[in-house]
Structure 1
Amino acid sequence: MEVGYKGIATTVRERRTINDFNGQPVSKEVLIELLNDAVWAPFHSKTEPWRFILFHGDGRRQFSDAVLRTYSQEKREQYADRVSDTYCNVVPVHLLVLIREELRQKEWEEAFAAASALIQNLQLLAWERKIGVVWKTNDYNENSEFREGTGVKPGEKVVGTLHMGYFDPKKVRRAKPRTPAETLITWVDS
């Protein structure tokens, strides 16, 4: 038992956000395996609260175009080539993680928390396969042009846009220090 815990603890501590991908494609099979394991995140509802839209291969153009539609004309003229190159050539995968926008606050919070746990599962599982992930919550996630261009349905919330790909381990940043848990605990034990 102890060996497994140490392996998980090491993965949790060593995982980093990756913004610099090496361009090597990630196969559909690997992506499906990762998602099939990630969906084992806990959820409170009777049904799993998430849905995915995955942009891979030539489908990345649709993602790039949807992002560019959220830019002003001036910004689009200035950045279109760089954005297109990054989203269509450099980053191998774009994944939208979606939940339903519930009318009841408690259900929405539970779905959001569950989807966040799923994203963390995915980040850790991907890291073990040397696939990096950056979890973005950009303004374009709420933009109607982006949502329509990517296939987000009315009544859905984008919990995160995940950019994924293989990376050069030599370029991974060092960890920032964390506050020791014992300094954050209020003990109530009697």
Structure 2
Amino acid sequence: MNFMETKLDGPIAELIKARRTIRSFKSDPVSRSLLLELLNVAVWAPNHLNRQPWRFILFQGEGRTTFAKAMVQTYSAEDKEKYGRKKMEYYQAVPAHLIIVMKEDPRQKVWDEDYAAVCSLIQNFQLAAWEQGLGVVWKTNNFGYDPRFRHDVGVKAGEKIVGILHIGYPDIVPPVQQRTPAEELLTVIEE
């Protein structure tokens, strides 16, 4: 079969359709070597002029407490009282937190290209992780913009947090959520 005869029901298409966002993880640790393998696959994302505008910050083991404290400190006093303990426990139980940052560029076109590249990297990571039996949830919470959080987790000036990935072996895999068929969203212009 040549390239043009490839069908869209092969292993990659099935992997894309099978992947789920995971929010409930088993307590089993995720090895750093596996995470590095996944990142080394993910960096093959398309990126303009091979700029590779990404950087990674990983929290595992006791580092999860650093991550959890940095996140909870961004809460209002009322929210800390209401949710702080529960969120601390949750984030300390997630096996790994991976922050994906990009270098910001003042040129809008370059910024857009780099943001798209980093998003592609994150999707590559999620798919590669799913293939290895790992679940991921990609978060873009408000605390990622808080200067205290950014400082405490090591985000530098001139960097944007594109995603915070919570990673682990799935405890609960949610059911399929239907997608709108592309035919309903496609506009065709032939003339």
Shorter-chain TM-score: which interval?
Answer: over 0.9
Q: What does the per-residue CA deviation read over 1:18-39, in whole Å, with 9 as the maximum and x for residues that have no partner?
A: 0010111100010000000000
Q: Within 2, Cα distance between the matches of 1:135 and 1:145?
A: 21
Q: Within 2, Cα distance between the matches of 1:73 and 1:43?
A: 42
Q: Within 2, Cα distance between the matches of 1:8 and 1:98?
A: 26
For residue 115 of structure 1, what is the aligned residue in structure 2? 118
For residue 178 of structure 2, what is the aligned residue in structure 1? 177
AA matched with 2:122: I
If the length of structure 2 is used for normalisation, what is the TM-score? 0.92
Structure 2 residue 57 is matched with structure 1 residue 53: yes
1:97 counterpart SS class: strand
For residue 98 of structure 2, what is the aligned residue in structure 1? 95
1:122 counterpart SS class: helix
Give the superposition deviation at 1:44: 0.4
Give the superposition deviation at 1:73: 2.4
What is the number of equivalent residue pairs in this alignment?
Answer: 187
If the length of structure 1 is used for normalisation, what is the TM-score? 0.92
AA matched with 2:117: A
For residue 104 of structure 1, what is the aligned residue in structure 2? 107
Matches within 5 A, 1:56-67: 56-67=60-71
Q: What does the per-residue CA deviation read over 1:35-87, in whole Å, with 9 as the maximum and x for residues that have no partner?
A: 00000000003421100111111111110111011012232233332122111
1:57 counterpart SS class: coil
1:26 counterpart SS class: coil
1:45 counterpart SS class: helix
AA matched with 1:154: A
Structure 2 residue 80 is matched with structure 1 residue 76: yes
Q: Within 2, Cα distance between the matches of 1:71 and 1:120?
A: 29
2:162 counterpart SS class: strand
Q: Within 2, Cα distance between the matches of 1:97 and 1:32?
A: 13
Give the superposition deviation at 1:5: 5.9
2:48 counterpart SS class: coil
Q: Within 2, Cα distance between the matches of 1:35 and 1:96?
A: 12
- Find runs of 4+ consecutive structure 1 residues off by over 4 angstroms: 1-5
The alpha-carbon distance between structure 1 residues 79 and 184, as it changes in their structure 2 partners (threshold 3 A), is: closer
Give the superposition deviation at 1:159: 0.3
Q: What does the per-residue CA deviation read over 1:108-160, in whole Å, with 9 as the maximum and x for residues that have no partner?
A: 10010000000000010000111000000000000001001100001110001
Higher deviation after alignment, 173-182 or 62-71? 173-182
Q: Percent of aligned positions with the same letter in both sequences? A: 49
Structure 1: gaps of 5 or more residues: none
For residue 152 of structure 2, what is the aligned residue in structure 1? 149
